[in-house]
Structure 1
Amino acid sequence: MDKRRLGNSDMEITPIGFGAWAIGGGDWQFSWGPQDDQDSIAAIHKALDIGVNWIDTAAVYGLGHSEEVVARALKETSHKPYVFTKCGLVWNEEREVLNDLKQIRREVEDSLRRLQVEAIDLYQIHWPKPDEDAEEAWGVMADLRKEGKVRWIGVSNFNVSQMERAMKIAPITSNQPPYSMLNRSVEDEILPFCEKNGIGTISYAPMHSGLLTGAMTKERVANFPEDDFRRRAKNYQEPLLSRNLGVAEFIGEIGRRHGVSAGVVAIAWVLHHSAITGAIVGGRSAKQVEGISPAASFRLPEEEFQEIQTYLAEHVS
């Protein structure tokens, strides 16, 4: 599998990484519903077996549970992927998720313990909230790198102004924004800024949380578990739901020309942008990972990329 250098780091990462959000399980504010840990471990192992060399998780996923499952999976394999995680979202005894950039030192120790690693390969501020604490938080991140607790430091969901402020304190290895055919807000300013300044970009939700996999239907959406955050997401509600499933159907037709799924085409579209170093691809079972595995190597021919661009211009505002 091809690899790309991530920003100013020494890490050469594969075009897709394993996203560990959903494997945090249910019963928390941004869950994807119930999840079997053994299925999660099998999914991670399948991703590593096909050559994926990085895993992206966060302390808040499952309120610590995702990091614990990643650790369990890595104890049962000889593969040694890079492990990325995030800080800045904490929770209280009532399991409420809160933005807090004042507890990063405690958070890193908790993540190191849950992940069972001596150092985190890439430590990222999950959200720059509250904004007035961002500089102080980035200074702590830089200190953690000097102390050897983390190898590289990155940001997630930062805008250009926030990245400029952070760069005055310490270099940014990477930014992690959402990017998909259904969410292109980073194209005008954020992706060009990252590319110009040598900041790697690992995008999340390239299939827009399952909408562009080709396997999503209105029936599946109607039957989401009560604790699946997507029940409340605007893109899973009408009139956007029908529009989005139409996009999935269209890219599925392109995928059939090459024997790949709509989801693989959606990921290839994201990777077509020159600023994108890698795309985070979630998987809840080995079968799901197997189905999306062609995304590691499939690339869109230019004429079909332009065909998609024309469709999006006409159908997605």
Structure 2
Amino acid sequence: MKKIQIGKTDLRVRSLGLGTNKIGGYNLFPNLDDETGKKVVQTAIDHDVEMIDTAYMYGLGHSEELIGEVLQHNDRDKVVLASKAAQQVAEDGTVTLNNTPEFLTKSVDEALKRLQTDYLDIFYIHFPDQETPKAEAVGALQRLREAGKLRAIGVSNFSLAQVKEANADGYVDLVENQYNLLQPDATNELVPYLNEKNISFVPYEPFAAALLTGRYSLENLPHFEEGDHRLKIELYEPDQLKKNVAKVDQLKPIAARYDATVAQLVLAWYLKNPKIGPVIPGARTPEQLLSNVKAYDVQLSDADYEAVAKIFA
């Protein structure tokens, strides 16, 4: 299996990873089960899913803790472990963004403790703050890399201008921003710059918060429980939802030709897309993880790749 090089580093990963906001992310999703979450991580490792992507904000460190428990029973070198931080949470629950070198250094050290490891393969600044010079923030991560605590440096949810500022010294290896067939803006201006600078692009929300899984139809529109972060997503607003579901419905006959699910077809489309790097779909259960991995078996033709692109153009 061909692997993707991460930026200019010596890190190489298989193209399908695991996003873990549904593993311990009790502040994002209702009714999560910790034991099931740990089983998802173990299933990923057992099936050669190398990149495991987490963040402090997934359960305020709880996702990291669960992954750390699983790592104790596995070969750490088999995992490309990524985490993120930028959110400073006060005792009253107020969240402020902080990119200062002091806060990022502290955040990395705390993540290492929760994950029970002495190094992170990748660390991202999760969101930009408004005050800290971005090159200064990344410079702090570079010092941590030189100290052996990180192998690659990333930024997440940064605009093109902010990425350029962050990369002033050439230290940025990855950008993790929102991208999927329904939200393709990142490939217009950001990705060309990243490709030029040999910076890997890691798209998050590849299923557009479940819209691109094919589980919904015009007769079966989604309904979420209170506390589910998807209630706040623009794609689910009433004036957009039916149009988005109608587009996804057009994928069903294409997926059927490959004896695949719509979700597997969508992942296969990303894997064939030369503009993007590793894809990190989430999974709530081991079964969902195993279904995602089957996307490797969908060898999408050029004609069907273009047909999918046309639906979402």
Same fold (TM over 0.5): yes
- TM-score interval, normalised by the smaller of the two chains: over 0.9
Structure 2 matches for 1:1-317, cutoff 5 A?
1-26=1-26, 28=27, 31-78=28-75, 80-102=78-100, 103-130=103-130, 132-216=132-216, 221-222=222-223, 224-313=224-313
Give the partner amino acid of 1:207. F
Runs of 4+ in 1 over 6 A off after TM superposition: none
Kept in 1: contact 2:85–2:124 (CA 8 A) = yes
In 1: Cα distance, 2:3 partner to 2:253 partner = 28
In 2: Cα distance, 1:55 partner to 1:131 partner = 30
Kept in 2: contact 1:25–1:36 (CA 8 A) = no
* Secondary structure at the counterpart of residue 247 of structure 2: helix
In 1: Cα distance, 2:71 partner to 2:252 partner = 34
In 1: Cα distance, 2:257 partner to 2:5 partner = 31
Q: Cα gap change, 1:295/1:89 in structure 2, threshold over 3 Å: closer, same or farther?
A: farther
Question: What is the Cα deviation at residue 123 of structure 1?
Answer: 0.8
Question: What is the Cα deviation at residue 132 of structure 1?
Answer: 4.3
* 1:286-309, Cα deviation, whole Å (9 max, x unpaired): 111122221234342110111122
| Percent identical | 28
Kept in 2: contact 1:180–1:266 (CA 8 A) = no
In 2: Cα distance, 1:161 partner to 1:85 partner = 23
In 1: Cα distance, 2:242 partner to 2:105 partner = 45
Give the partner amino acid of 1:81. V
TM-score, normalised by the number of residues in structure 1: 0.92
Question: Aligned pair count?
Answer: 309
Give the partner amino acid of 1:90. Q
5+ long unaligned stretches in structure 2: none
* Secondary structure at the counterpart of residue 66 of structure 1: helix
Kept in 1: contact 2:25–2:57 (CA 8 A) = no
Question: What is the Cα deviation at residue 237 of structure 1?
Answer: 2.3
* Secondary structure at the counterpart of residue 152 of structure 2: strand
Question: What is the Cα deviation at residue 131 of structure 1?
Answer: 5.4
In 2: Cα distance, 1:170 partner to 1:193 partner = 13
Kept in 1: contact 2:175–2:199 (CA 8 A) = yes
In 1: Cα distance, 2:96 partner to 2:221 partner = 30
* 1:12-53, Cα deviation, whole Å (9 max, x unpaired): 111111101121232x3xx02221011111111222222211
Q: Cα gap change, 1:121/1:78 in structure 2, threshold over 3 Å: closer, same or farther?
A: closer
Kept in 2: contact 1:213–1:263 (CA 8 A) = yes
5+ long unaligned stretches in structure 1: none
Question: What is the Cα deviation at residue 205 of structure 1?
Answer: 1.0
Give the partner amino acid of 1:110. E
TM-score, normalised by the number of residues in structure 2: 0.93
* 1:232-289, Cα deviation, whole Å (9 max, x unpaired): 2121221211122222221122111101111112222223321212101101111111
Question: What is the Cα deviation at residue 60 of structure 1?
Answer: 1.3
Kept in 2: contact 1:123–1:150 (CA 8 A) = yes
Kept in 1: contact 2:20–2:53 (CA 8 A) = yes
